[in-house]
Amino acid sequence: MRLPVAMIALLAVALTGCGEAEQPADPVRPVVTVTVMPGAAATRDVYSGEVRARVETDLAFRVGGKITARLVDAGARVKAGQALARLDPDDAKLAADAARAQIASSESDLALARSELDRARDLLARQFISPSAFDARSAAFKAAAARAEQTRAQAALSVNQQAYTTLVADGDGLVLSVAAETGQVVSAGQPVLRVAREGPMEVVISVPEGQVARFRAGQPVALSLWARPEAVFPGVVREVSGGADPVTRTFAVRVAAPKHPEGMRVGMTANVVTAPDAGGPIIVVPLGALAKEGEASAVWVVDPKTSRVATRIVRVGMYREDGATIESGLAAGEIVVAAGVHKLRAGQLVRLQGTAAPAPAPAAR
């Protein structure tokens, strides 16, 4: 059946109207931005670390056995000579008693050998025995004397081992951690307690391999505690590790704090502030501002006149806690999208909803 000409014309007009329907406008996306401002030299020179004692010792028994008592807990302050833990002393006592019995036996043998030598000397003077017989008595006496000396040394060792069943502090300090409990059987040299000795305190930081050359022994730095950021006190780099940590691939730097505040304690978080490099201020953008453009890093830059965004290839220097340093690709005063970059497309219209606050630079004297 053939359709009327009028119906065909109306159908063509309707189809034409559908093809020319207006596409919906792109929504204006609100974004958080940051204005590029060089001047982050002080921020890149701050390293977070931990307060440590100059000397920290793992204390262990010099003999093996079963722990019968642990007399201190973690966090306890101890004095030199104070008993910290004890082993079961029965085996050591039996060994000491056996050594004393051996001393008595060897002393008896030595006395007999001495009397035999004296009689042989008198008989030799009267020519009742031959010189070879006298030499035999003399050799027997020397052997008995050597055995007596050996048993006395073994007895002294056994007595010392009996004393080693009590673990004592070799200096004033603070118990940092406990590695063994009552009833546990430990071997000689197995750590039982970790003690921080009283005395100088330090701040230990981990420095990336690209920045370790900036530290040297004797270099002055500034220190501050996370609990008291307003109190800044001087420090001196005491030691730079000669090798990198096998796990983190960072270098340990120990900073001495000869004039630390009274409230500074082992385990606190501290900041080490060094003098900035002579290379001038650098640009830092938030980590959320970075996107990928193929294999390169990029950011979204907002045109202040049109409020539209476009990608910009940048070269990242290093990644830090407060953001990423930009070596090239951005200029001062440009506006960069700080968050939500994965939802943008080139030329999209945006509305500046807020500005990301830059990380505050730490105070240093």
Within a domain: residue 237?
Answer: yes
Within a domain: residue 114?
Answer: yes
Do 262 and 302 fall within a single domain? no
* Nearest 10 degrees: Cα torsion 80, 165, 187, 67: -90
Q: Residue 228's pLDDT band (boundaries 50, 70, 90)? A: confident
Element housing 114 (H / E): helix 90-125
Do 215 and 263 fall within a single domain? yes
pLDDT single digits (tens) 107-166: 888 898 898 888 888 888 888 888 888 888 889 889 988 988 888 888 888 777 888 899
Instruction: Look up the CATH number of the domain holding residue 155.
Output: 1.10.287.470
Within a domain: residue 1?
Answer: no
Least confident of 21-30, 70-79, 139-148, 167-176: 21-30
Do 348 and 285 fall within a single domain? yes
pLDDT value at position 157?
80
d(CA 111, CA 119): 13
pLDDT single digits (tens) 311-326: 889 888 777 767 888 8
pLDDT value at position 355?
59
pLDDT value at position 238?
94
Contact in structure between 84 and 168 (CB atoms under 8 Å):
yes
Length of the chain: 365
What one-character-per-residue DSSP string does 287-322 give? Answer: GGG-EEETTEEEEEEE-TTT-BEEEEEEEEEEEETT
pLDDT single digits (tens) 328-337: 888 888 888 8
Least confident of 21-35, 61-75, 183-197, 294-308: 21-35
d(CA 69, CA 193): 13
d(CA 311, CA 291): 9
pLDDT value at position 99?
81
Contact in structure between 175 and 191 (CB atoms under 8 Å):
no
Long-range contacts of 138-143 (CB under 8 A, 24+ apart): 140/113, 140/116, 141/110, 141/113, 141/114, 141/116, 141/117, 143/113
DSSP 8-state class, residue 279: T
Closest CA to 170 of 199, 143, 146: 199
Within a domain: residue 71?
Answer: yes
pLDDT value at position 1?
43
Within a domain: residue 208?
Answer: yes
Do 332 and 222 fall within a single domain? no
Structure tokens at 71: 């007399």
- What integer best gives the mean pLDDT of the chain? 83
Least confident of 5-14, 50-59, 184-193: 5-14
pLDDT at residue 3 tops 60: no
SS3 187: coil
pLDDT at residue 353 tops 80: no
Last-in-domain residue among 273, 301, 319: 273
pLDDT value at position 137?
87
Do 186 and 70 fall within a single domain? yes
pLDDT value at position 231?
84
Within a domain: residue 20?
Answer: no
pLDDT value at position 16?
52
Overall number of domains in the chain: 4
Do 153 and 245 fall within a single domain? no
Do 78 and 172 fall within a single domain? yes
Last-in-domain residue among 273, 298, 325: 273
Least confident of 26-30, 160-164, 233-237: 26-30
Do 341 and 329 fall within a single domain? yes
Do 211 and 264 fall within a single domain? yes
Domain assignment of residue 79, given as a range: 65-87+165-196
Do 95 and 146 fall within a single domain? yes
